[in-house]
Structure 1
Amino acid sequence: MNKLTIAAALACSLALTGCVNSLSGNTYSRSEARQVQQVQYGIVQSATPVVIEGTNTIVGAGTGAVVGGVVGSNVGGGKGKTLATVLGAVAGGLAGKSAEEALTQTQGQEVTVRLDSGNTISVVQEVADGPVFRAGDRVRVLNGSGGARVTY
């Protein structure tokens, strides 16, 4: 039963980290569909690689705490078992939080664009599902729905 609990907790954790939204310029959320966006054109001045930090939700810490508590409950007996369960849950929660953040961290680009209007802007977006920009690229900048994106 304990192995089944651990397997279920890990499966839930992996399934939920698969639901992380993409931050690329080519991915739209459901609420962004059919929304008007302002379009501007420009030339990429620079494209700097960046790291976009991972998510830090209760999923990783909660899953880690459950797994750590189950593992700890299999150590010792009496008060020692209780202490091992609590320590296992705390250590598992911390480990789960760190694991979630590391697993959901992504590569991105800070794209600086000189717009045809003469203004210069910078947009950070994920590159996993989208294009990688280079200085001199002619691009579109879409503004709307509380954010901006750079695309060809």
Structure 2
Amino acid sequence: MWWLYALLSAFFASLTAIFAKIGVSNVNSDLATAIRTIIILIMAWGIVFFRGENKGLQHLSKFSLIFLILSGMATGLSWIFYFKALQMGKVSQVAPVDKLSVALTIILSVVFLGEALTLKTAIGAILIISGTLVLIL
């Protein structure tokens, strides 16, 4: 079932790129990121409260909270740079280059999380990196 959520994520990420490119056409990219972030904030907390999951707040460990904060900071920086790239470049180039994060995540998951690197995953990462280089050069 994880793959269904991953496919939905990919679909909505592609819509994000299209909508964002249109949205940043006459707007400062940082302002556009801030507006997008407010919408995401409202949606995420709405889902948490609607499903009654806010009760989990009291059970968060400091460790989890620190890494969720770091993840949020990384997401924010990613969005800021993504919107700036969209404003300056073609969405058909920016979005695929942004997906280099997939290959980087594979590498970082091996280094920091100790996940096994299979031949199939390594080949996939190499192809992603190669494709990114083709788009950039």
Please confirm whether the aligned pair reaches a TM-score higher than 0.5, indicating the same fold: no
Q: Which has the larger radius of gyration?
A: 1
Name the structure with the higher helix share: 2
Name the structure with the higher strand share: 1
Give the TM-score taking structure 1 as reference length: 0.29
Structure showing greater relative contact order (alpha-carbon pairs closer than 8 Å, 6 or more residues apart)? 1
